[in-house]
Amino acid sequence: MAQEACSNLGGVYRKFKPHLLMVLAQVAFTFLYFLTEASFNHGMNPHVYITYRHIVSGLVMFPFAYVLER
């Protein structure tokens, strides 16, 4: 009985995975918007912000690129 419920839960997860990932993406974009507004309100130069953003995104993506393209 427990194994059947577990496999059913996996099916539900597989069915709604795109929806869950879209909600996660929207939450991430909202967090990024608030972070951007806070940094601009504290006087950060937009060019410096974009530079920092590209550096952080490169550092975050590097492990995935290294492992997946190996």
Residues 4-43: tens digit of each pLDDT: 655 677 787 788 899 999 999 999 999 999 999 999 999 9
Rg (CA), the chain: 19
The confidence score (pLDDT) of residue 8 equals 74
> What is the total count of domains within the chain?
1
The confidence score (pLDDT) of residue 46 equals 94
Question: What does each C-alpha distance from 10 to 5, 24, 31, 41, 52 come to in angstroms?
Answer: 9, 19, 29, 44, 39
The confidence score (pLDDT) of residue 6 equals 57
pTM: 0.65
The helix (run of H) or strand (run of E) holding residue 70 is: none
The confidence score (pLDDT) of residue 26 equals 97
**Six token digits for residue 65:** 């690129």
Residues 6+ apart with CB under 8 A from 46: 40
* Rounded average pLDDT over 59-65: 95
Range of the structural domain that residue 10 is part of: 2-68
Measured CA to CA, the distance from residue 41 to residue 53 in angstroms comes to: 17
